[in-house]
Structure 1
Amino acid sequence: MRIPGPAHQEDGGLSAVADAGGLHRYQVRLHDAYGPVVRLQLPGADAVVSICDPVLLEAVAHLDERPPGLFAFLDPLCEAGNLQVLGAEEHTPWRRVLLSVLAGRPAHERHFAGFTEQAVLLADRLAARPEGEPIELQQELAALSLRMICGFALGGADAGTDADRVVAAFEEVLTERLGRLYRVPRTDPRPAARADEALAYLRAAVDRAVAAHRAGERAGPGDLIGALAEAGESPARIRDTVMVTLLAAHHTTGVAVSWTLHLLGRHPEAADRVGAELDRVLGGRAAPDYGDLRRLTYLDMVLKESMRLFPPGPYGAREATSDLAVGPYTIPAGTAVFLPIRAVHLNAAYWPDPERFDPGRFAPGAAAGRPRLAHIPFGFGPRGCEGAALATVEARLVLAVLLARLRFSPAPGHEVTPVERFVLWARDGIRMTVRPRGR
C-alpha cells in the first residue's frame, strides 16, 4: 500500500515548512491531513516517512542510525565527526560513557548542592527586580542551565566562562545554520561571518574549560572529560562531546522550565496547587534536597504536561537500514524515518482535547492503557537523549526553588509564539512579571 502524503515539491519541502510556520507546525498539519503515517520531503532528505501513532512507532524503536542530511546543520560544532550521526558501532560505546556520567543518581547527588546554589542565586536576583518589570525568562533560564551543566560535566572547570555570551553564541551559530538549511532570505550581509566568530568563541571557551580540568584526575561521578579520557576518546572527540553536551543540556532544561512557567502563569489554579505542595514538602525551606524531588508529585505532573505541549526537542529522526513493516505500509531501506514528537503529543486518539493544559493526564494511574511511546519528550530507543535523567532533576529543582518564593504572570501585551530552532524556542522570548508569593 502506498504511503499517503503531499505532492512532490521541487524545492524539497521548503515552501511547505515555511507556509506552515515551521517544522513544529508542519508535522501536525501533515498528520491531520493524511493520517498517522505520512510520506513527505524535508530539507536534507528527499525520502521521508513520518509516524505519529505511538503504537506504530514501536516498529522503529530499535533503529540506531540517523539520516546525516537532517542533522548536517550541526556539522560545524564537531571536528571529529558529527556526533548526532555517528554509526552504531561508534555511537554505542560513546553513548555508554555519556550515560555513565549523566544518568546516575550518585553523579546527580554529588552536584545537587551546586545546582541548588545556582538556582537560589537566580531566585534572589529575580526577587530583587522591581515588581511589575518584565523579565525575559528564556534567556535567564538558558544561562542558568548552562552554568549548571558546566559545573556538572566539566567538574566545575568552566574557566570563567561567560554563560550569557555562550548562550548567545550558540544561538548565533544555530540561527545561521538553520537559516542556511531552510534558505531563509538574508537581510544582514554578515550572518555567516558572525556565526564563524561565535563558533570560534565557543571552541575557545571549551578549550579553556578542558585545559582547566585537573590533569591526571580519575573520572568520578559527573566528570565528563575524565570519563571520556579514560574511555580512550581523542582530544577532538572530547571537545566535540563537551560542545554538544553544553548545547543540548542548556537548551533542554532552560526551555522546559521556561515553557512550564509560561503555562503556570496562564493557569493560576495550577500554580496555586504547586505552591501548596511546595509549602507542604519544604516546610519553609528555600530549596528541596534530592530526596524531596520524588515527593513533589504534582510539580512532576505539571512538568510532564508542559513537555507534552512544548517538547524541547520537537522532532527526531532515524534511518531505516532494512525494509520495515509499519501497519499496512512498508518503509524501504534507506528512508529517513521522521519522529514528529510534537504531533505524537497532540495525537487526539491518546490525548483528548490535546492542546488543553491538564497536568491530571499524568496523575498516578492515569497512564494505564496509554502506549509507552505516547509521551516521548526525550525521544526513545538507542538514540534517546542521554541527559534525560539529569535534565529532569535540574528542571524539578529549578522550578521548586523559583515557585516556592515567586509568582510568575504573563507580561501585559506580550505574545509568546513557539518557533522551531533546534529546540522549541519562543520567537520573541517569554516575558513575565514576578512578585513574591502571597502578594
Structure 2
Amino acid sequence: MEIPGPEPEADDGAGAIARAGGLHTYQLWLHAEYGPVVRFRLPGAETAVSIADPVLLEAVVHLDERPRRLFSFLDPLFEADNLQVLPAAEHDPWRRLLLTVLAGRPSYERHFDLFAALAAELADRWAALPAGRPVELQRELARTSLRMICGYALGGEVEDPDGVVEAFEAVLTDQLERLYPAPAGQGRERRTERAERAERAARALALLRETVDRVVAAHGAGAGAGGGPGERSDLIAALVAAGESPARIRDTVLTVMLAAHHTTGVAVSWTLHLLAAHPEAAARVTEELDRVLGERPVPDHADLPRLPYLGMVLRESLRRYPPGPYGARLTAEPLAVGEYLVPAGAVVLLPILAVHLNPVYWPEPERFRPERFTPEESAGRPRLAWIPFGLGPRGCEGAGLATLEARVLLAVLLKRLRFRPEPGHRVVPVERFVLWAADDIRMRVSPRAARGTPR
C-alpha cells in the first residue's frame, strides 16, 4: 500500500517546514492530516517517512544509521567527524565507551553530593534575588547543567559557563537557519543580517574550541597518564585509555557538553513552567518533599525512590516537552512498517513530540497530568509510547544521568522555592536542536514559607 502524504514541493519541503515553525511542528501537522505513517519530502532526502505510532515504531527500532544531511548543522562543531552520524561499526565502540562513564548507579552515587551542592548553590542565588526580579530559567539551568557534567565527566569546572551556553546557541542557530532557511528577505538588510549572524557564529565556535582545549589540557596536567579500565569516572581518562585520537577526544568532550547542558536544563525548565501553571500538582510535589525530607533542604541519593510523584511529574513534562523533539534513521533495505513498505535509502523520522501527543495512547494529550505514569495507568501502554531520549542503538547515552540530575535539581529547587510565571511573558517552544523557548522561560522566584525552608 502506498504511504500517504502531501504532494512534493519544488523546494523539497523547506518552505513548509519554515512556515510550520520547525520540523517538529510540521510533523504534528503531517500526522494530523495523513495518519500515523506519512511520506513527505525533506531537504537532502528524496524520501522521508515519519512514524507516530509506538507499535509501528518497533519495526525500525533496530536501525543504526543516521542520515548525514539532517545532522549537518552540527558539522562545524567537530574536528574529526560528526559524531552524530558515525557509521555503526565506528559508533558502537564509541557508544560503549561513553556508557562506561555516563551510566551506572555506583558512579551516580559517588557524584551525588556534587549535583546536590550545585543545585543548592543555584537555589541560594535565586532565594537572594530582590523581590519581583524575574529569573531566566533556561539560561540559568543550562549553566548549572553544564557545570554538573563538567564536574562529573570532565573532572572540574569550565570557565565562563554562561559564555559557553550562549556560544552553543549562536553556532546552532546559524547552522539551523542554513539548513531550514526562512522565506527569503530582500535587499541589503537581509544580507547584512545573515553576515552578522555568521560572524557571531564564527566567534562562538572559536570560543567553544578554546574552552574544550583548556579542559583537555587541564586534565592532562592534573591526571598524568589518565585512569585505567577500573577507574572511568572521568571521560577524558577513559578516552585516552581507549586509544582515541586527540581530535576524537576533543569532539567527544564538545558533544557531551552540548548534549548534557541542553537535555537537563531544558527538561527542568519546562517542568517548572508546567508546575507553575498547575498549582495543584506543584502543591502535591512540595507536600511529598516535605514529608520525605523533613527539615533537610537537599535529598540524599537514597531519598529519590521515596519521591515517586516527583518522578511522575518529570516523566509527564518530558512527554509534553521532550528535549529532542525528533530523531532520524536511515534504511539500508526495504522495511515493512505495518501495511506499508518503506524503501531502502529512506530517511525514517522518529517524531518524538508527535508520538508523545498521540491521542490513542495519551488521552487528552495536551493536558498535563502526572498520574498517567502510575503503575496502573502505565500497564499495557506500548514501551515506545514514551521516548524522550530516543530509541535503539542511537538512543541517548546520558539518559540515566540526565534524569538523575533533573530529579536532584527539581527536589532542591521545589523544596526551597516557589515559582510563579512572569506576568505578560509569553512562552513559545521553538526548535533549536532541542525544544527551546524562544525568549526563555521567565519566572518570579521566592522562598517557600514551609517547613524546612532555610531563613
Provide the TM-score with structure 1 as the length reference.
Answer: 0.98
Counterpart in the other structure of 2:453: none
> CA shift at 1:41, angstroms?
1.6
Q: Secondary structure at the match of 1:168?
A: helix
Instruction: Give 1:62-73 correspondences, 5 Å limit.
Output: 62-73=62-73
Counterpart in the other structure of 1:333: 344
Counterpart in the other structure of 1:61: 61
Instruction: Give 1:21-420 correspondences, 5 Å limit.
Output: 21-156=21-156, 158=157, 160-184=158-182, 185=184, 186=190, 188=193, 189-213=195-219, 214-219=223-228, 220-420=231-431
Unpaired stretches in structure 1, ≥5 consecutive residues: none
Distance 2:109 2:65 in 1: 33
2:100 maps to amino acid: S
Distance 2:45 2:308 in 1: 41
Q: Secondary structure at the match of 2:377?
A: coil
On the 8 A contact 2:59/2:336 being kept in 1, the answer is: yes
Q: Secondary structure at the match of 2:17?
A: helix
2:214 maps to amino acid: R
> CA shift at 1:330, angstroms?
0.5
2:134 maps to amino acid: P
Bigger Cα displacement from structure 2, 179-188 vs 330-339 = 179-188
On the 8 A contact 2:226/2:240 being kept in 1, the answer is: no
1:218 maps to amino acid: G
Unpaired stretches in structure 2, ≥5 consecutive residues: 185-189, 451-455
Q: Secondary structure at the match of 1:38?
A: strand
> CA shift at 1:353, angstroms?
0.5
Distance 2:98 2:181 in 1: 34
Q: Secondary structure at the match of 2:378?
A: coil
On the 8 A contact 1:110/1:221 being kept in 2, the answer is: no
Cα distance, 1:221–1:116 mapped onto 2, change above 3 Å: farther
Moved over 3 A (4+): 184-187
On the 8 A contact 1:407/1:435 being kept in 2, the answer is: yes
Distance 2:224 2:162 in 1: 28
Q: Secondary structure at the match of 1:4?
A: coil
> CA shift at 1:424, angstroms?
0.2
2:226 maps to amino acid: E
On the 8 A contact 1:3/1:329 being kept in 2, the answer is: yes
> CA shift at 1:221, angstroms?
4.0
Q: Secondary structure at the match of 1:365?
A: helix
> CA shift at 1:131, angstroms?
2.0
The alignment's C-alpha RMSD in Å is 1.1
> CA shift at 1:22, angstroms?
1.7
Counterpart in the other structure of 1:17: 17
Distance 2:349 2:430 in 1: 18
> CA shift at 1:376, angstroms?
0.2
> CA shift at 1:422, angstroms?
0.2
Report Cα offsets for 1:343-384 as digits up to 9, x if no partner. 000000000000000000001232111000000000010000
> CA shift at 1:223, angstroms?
0.7
On the 8 A contact 2:18/2:181 being kept in 1, the answer is: no
Distance 2:375 2:284 in 1: 16
Distance 1:183 1:350 in 2: 34
> CA shift at 1:274, angstroms?
0.3
- The count of corresponding residues between Structure 1 and Structure 2 is 437
Distance 1:21 1:178 in 2: 12
Distance 1:95 1:300 in 2: 27
Counterpart in the other structure of 2:4: 4
Report Cα offsets for 1:294-348 as digits up to 9, x if no partner. 1110000000000000000000000011110001110111101000000000000
Bigger Cα displacement from structure 2, 276-285 vs 17-26 = 17-26
On the 8 A contact 1:111/1:222 being kept in 2, the answer is: no
Distance 1:438 1:362 in 2: 29
> CA shift at 1:196, angstroms?
1.2
Bigger Cα displacement from structure 2, 338-347 vs 16-25 = 16-25
Distance 1:134 1:313 in 2: 26
Distance 1:5 1:39 in 2: 5
Distance 2:50 2:427 in 1: 27
Q: Secondary structure at the match of 2:376?
A: coil
Cα distance, 1:44–1:215 mapped onto 2, change above 3 Å: farther
Distance 1:336 1:96 in 2: 25
On the 8 A contact 2:316/2:373 being kept in 1, the answer is: yes
2:413 maps to amino acid: L
Q: Secondary structure at the match of 2:431?
A: strand
1:108 maps to amino acid: Y
Distance 1:43 1:141 in 2: 33
> CA shift at 1:284, angstroms?
1.3
Counterpart in the other structure of 2:443: 432
2:332 maps to amino acid: T
On the 8 A contact 2:226/2:241 being kept in 1, the answer is: no
Percent identity, please.
Answer: 67
2:262 maps to amino acid: H
Distance 2:50 2:307 in 1: 36
Report Cα offsets for 1:111-154 as digits up to 9, x if no partner. 11111111100000000011222111110001010011111111
Distance 2:92 2:109 in 1: 26
Distance 1:429 1:48 in 2: 32
Q: Secondary structure at the match of 1:366?
A: helix
